[in-house]
Chain A
Amino acid sequence: MIELRTSPHMKGTLSLPQIMHHVIYALLPICAFAVYQFGISALALILVVTLSCVLTELFFNYISDKNSNPKKSLNDYTAVITGILLALTLPPGFPLWMGAVAGFVAISMGKTLFGGMGFNLFNPALLGRAFVQAAFPVAITSWTPGGLTDRFTQFIPSSLTLPFTAPASIDGFTGATPLALHKFEGTSTSFNDLFLGFSSGSLGETSSLLILLCGTYLIIRGIMGWRIPLAIFISTIIISGTFFLFDNSYPSPLFMLSSGGLMLGALFMATDPVSAPVTPAGMWLFGILIASITIIIRLFGGLPEGIMYAILFANATVPLIEAIAQPRKFGHVARKGAGK
Chain B
Amino acid sequence: MSILDFFKYKTFAHGIHLPDKKEHTREQAIRRLPFAPELIVPLSQHFGTPAKAIVSPGQEVVRGELIAEANGFMSVPIHAPASGIIKEIELYPTARGPKTESIVIKTWPGASQRTASFEPVNIPSLTHEQFIKAVQDTGMVGLGGAGFPTHIKLSVPPEYSIDTLVVNGCECEPYLTTDHRLMLEQTAELLLGTSMLMKALGAKQAIIGIEDNKMDAVEAIKGHLSGVEHIQVKAVQTHYPQGSEKLLIKVLLGREVPSAGFPYQVNVVVQNIATITQLGKLLPQNQGLIERVVTVTGTGVKKPGNYLVPLGTPIRFLLEHVGFSGSAKHLILGGPMMGSTVASLDVPITKPVSGLLVFNEQSIEKVSDDVYPCIKCARCVDACPMHLNPSMLGQLASKREYESMQENFNLMDCFECGCCSYVCPSNIPLVQYFRISKSIMRERAIEKQNND
* Interface presence of B147 (CB below 8 A): no
User: Are B368 and A326 within 8 A (Cβ)?
Assistant: no
Contacts of A116 in B (CB 8 A): 373
The interface-forming segment of A15-23, A210-218, A243-251 is: A15-23
User: Are B261 and A331 within 8 A (Cβ)?
Assistant: yes
Residues 337-390 of B at the A interface (beta carbon under 8 Å) = 337-345, 357, 364-365, 367-368, 370, 372-378, 381-382, 385-389
* Interface presence of B431 (CB below 8 A): yes
Contacts of A19 in B (CB 8 A): 377, 425
Encode A258-299 as 1/0 by CB contact (under 8 A) with B.
Answer: 000000000000000110111110010000000000000000
User: CA–CA, A276 to B391, complex, Å?
Assistant: 13
Contacts of B259 in A (CB 8 A): 329-332
B386 to chain A: closest residue by CB: A330
User: Are A118 and B372 within 8 A (Cβ)?
Assistant: yes
B426 to chain A: closest residue by CB: A16
B329 to chain A: closest residue by CB: A3
User: CA–CA, A331 to B367, complex, Å?
Assistant: 33
Residues 418-439 of B at the A interface (beta carbon under 8 Å) = 418, 421-427, 429, 431-432, 435
User: Are B422 and A12 within 8 A (Cβ)?
Assistant: yes
User: Are A10 and B422 within 8 A (Cβ)?
Assistant: yes
The interface-forming segment of B30-38, B43-51, B215-223, B249-257 is: B249-257
User: CA–CA, A219 to B225, complex, Å?
Assistant: 46
User: Are B163 and A338 within 8 A (Cβ)?
Assistant: yes
Partner of B341, one of A4, A76, A279, A280: A4
Partner of B373, one of A11, A117, A336: A117
* Interface presence of B16 (CB below 8 A): yes
User: CA–CA, A119 to B372, complex, Å?
Assistant: 12
B247 to chain A: closest residue by CB: A330
User: CA–CA, A19 to B376, complex, Å?
Assistant: 13
Partner of A327, one of B260, B261, B327, B389: B389
User: Are B410 and A8 within 8 A (Cβ)?
Assistant: no
User: CA–CA, A4 to B344, complex, Å?
Assistant: 10
User: CA–CA, A338 to B266, complex, Å?
Assistant: 7
Number of A residues near B (Cβ < 8 Å) is: 45
Contacts of A66 in B (CB 8 A): none
Q: Is the interface of B mostly helix, strand, loop or mixed?
A: loop
How many chain B residues sit at the interface, stated as a range, is: 35 or more
A275 to chain B: closest residue by CB: B376
User: CA–CA, A14 to B418, complex, Å?
Assistant: 16
User: Are A3 and B255 within 8 A (Cβ)?
Assistant: no
User: Are B246 and A6 within 8 A (Cβ)?
Assistant: no
* Interface presence of B330 (CB below 8 A): yes
* Interface presence of B159 (CB below 8 A): yes
Encode A123-147 as 1/0 by CB contact (under 8 A) with B.
Answer: 0000000000000000000000000
User: Are B410 and A1 within 8 A (Cβ)?
Assistant: no
A11 with B159, Cβ < 8 A, contacts A278-B391, A327-B387 known: no
Encode B241-272 as 1/0 by CB contact (under 8 A) with A.
Answer: 00000100010011111111100011100000
* Interface presence of B160 (CB below 8 A): yes
User: CA–CA, A273 to B160, complex, Å?
Assistant: 46
User: Are A11 and B327 within 8 A (Cβ)?
Assistant: no
* Interface presence of B392 (CB below 8 A): yes
User: CA–CA, A133 to B258, complex, Å?
Assistant: 53
User: CA–CA, A333 to B341, complex, Å?
Assistant: 37
User: CA–CA, A250 to B427, complex, Å?
Assistant: 48
Contacts of B357 in A (CB 8 A): 9
Contacts of B258 in A (CB 8 A): 331-332, 335
User: Are A337 and B376 within 8 A (Cβ)?
Assistant: no
Partner of B267, one of A2, A15, A338: A338
B23 to A: closest C-beta gap in Å: 16
User: Are B341 and A5 within 8 A (Cβ)?
Assistant: yes
